[in-house]
Amino acid sequence: MECIFCKIVNGEIHSNKIYENDNFFSILDINQKVDGHSLVISKQHFVTLLDIPEDLSSELIDCIKKTAEIIIRGKNAEGFNIVNNNSESAGQLVNHFHVHLFPRKKNDNANIFS
């Protein structure tokens, strides 16, 4: 299996999970665009949001919300952005479903789309 996020799921690559539920987990992004930049990742190998079964929607939202709360508290942030790239033309580099979470503070000058 060549997928880097599947390797994280099956333990081939070590990771420190921020939060997890049955179908999703979160980790810090290896390339921190802002301090606390995190990824919410599906445990199954789905490629884009369109592949996520409807019955996993609430677990996805749960993982995003719990991760946001933990990161906001940990980084003294005030808010956050979520970004989800679907397909190469939309900037998706890892073809395993994930949502970026960027904690934000007033006047932080973060450039989350670069």
Active site residues: 98
Q: Measured from the CB atom, is 5 or 19 closer to Zn ion?
A: 5
**Is residue 47 a contact residue for Zn ion (CB under 5 A)?**
no
x/- string (CB under 6 A) for ligand AMP, residues 51-90?
----------------------------------x-----
Identified binder of Zn ion from the candidate list 33, 45, 66, 100, rule CB under 5 A? 45
Which residue, judged by CB position, is nearest to Zn ion in the bound state? 3
Whole-Å CA distances, 100 to 1, 9, 12, 96, 111:
23, 17, 22, 12, 13
Instruction: Identify the CA nearest to 67 among candidates 7, 19, 3.
Output: 19
Identified binder of ligand AMP from the candidate list 2, 30, 89, 106, rule CB under 6 A? 30
4 binds, among ligand AMP, Zn ion, none (CB under 5 to 8 A by kind): ligand AMP
By the criterion CB under 5 A, which residues form the site for Zn ion? 3, 5-6, 45, 96
The residue ranges that bind ligand AMP (CB under 6 A) are 4, 13, 27, 29-31, 39, 85, 91-94
